[in-house]
Amino acid sequence: MRCSLRKFVSLIRTLTTDQRDAIKAFNPFHTLLDVKCGHMHKAFAMHLVQCFNPETCNIEFRRGVDVHITEEDVARVLGMPIGDTPVPTECLESHIQKIEGDFNGGFKGIEILKLENVIKKGHTDGRFHRAYMLFTLGCLLCPTTKEVAGNRLFLGVVADDLETLKTYKWPVMPPFSGTLSKHFIELKDEESGSLLQHDSYESTFITQRMGNLRLSTAPLLPPS
């Protein structure tokens, strides 16, 4: 896995004053500008993911101690409002083409390095906001095993009006998280969940042995 707090913190330190002001004015991930810690404890993060039950949104510790994770909890951790507009579940082809055109992306998504380079140019336009959001999602909030921000993240990044980005219900992941994780686990169409629930599904892999279905979880958050 490639989640990197250190990389994220290192990049936001390069932002200009104008860029930081632009993010605070329009971008839903503006509170993450205050992140300063560049270290992540692998064992602790792995333990949380392994104890997390995505069906109930509970962290199930030993001795019957359960901690229920709500959308409000996720919003509080991210330091952002929940918003009233669901994150889009479909991405227009024109939006996909715009993002791929903005960053010269490929089939698997946009390379993290390309997003970094766009951000470091110092601009504050819509392309910059899309780069910052994709970088934040791909590097910190929804990382994968690849050095890319995958196309599953495109849905909530393009908006005709930048103000719309702040109204999305980011702490709640829409059904597309389950649809795009169908190789790992199936969800009902109406189900949604928190970012932690989404990450838990993404870290779950299924193997078939002797006709029995076995579920096991892989560590989600390695050290930076």
pTM above 0.75, yes or no: no
Query: Could you write out the DSSP letters of every residue in 76-137?
Result: HHHTS---SBPPPS---HHHHHHHHHHHT-BTTBEEHHHHHHHHTT---SHHHHHHHHHHHI
pLDDT, tens digit (0-9, with 9 covering 90-100), for 21-68: 999 887 778 888 888 777 767 788 788 888 888 888 899 988 888 999
Nearest in space to 218 (alpha carbons), one of 199, 198, 203: 203
Q: Is 42 left (phi over 0), alpha (psi -120 to 50) or beta?
A: alpha
DSSP string for 4-47:
-HHHHHHHHTT--HHHHHHHHHH-TTGGGGG-------HHHHHH
Stretches where the chain sits below pLDDT 50 are 1, 175-224
Confidence (pLDDT) at 159: 67
Report the distance separating Cα 56 and Cα 172, nearest Å. Answer: 14
Query: What's the confidence (pLDDT) of residue 194?
Result: 43
How far apart, in Å, are the Cα atoms of 150 and each of 84, 202, 224?
25, 13, 20
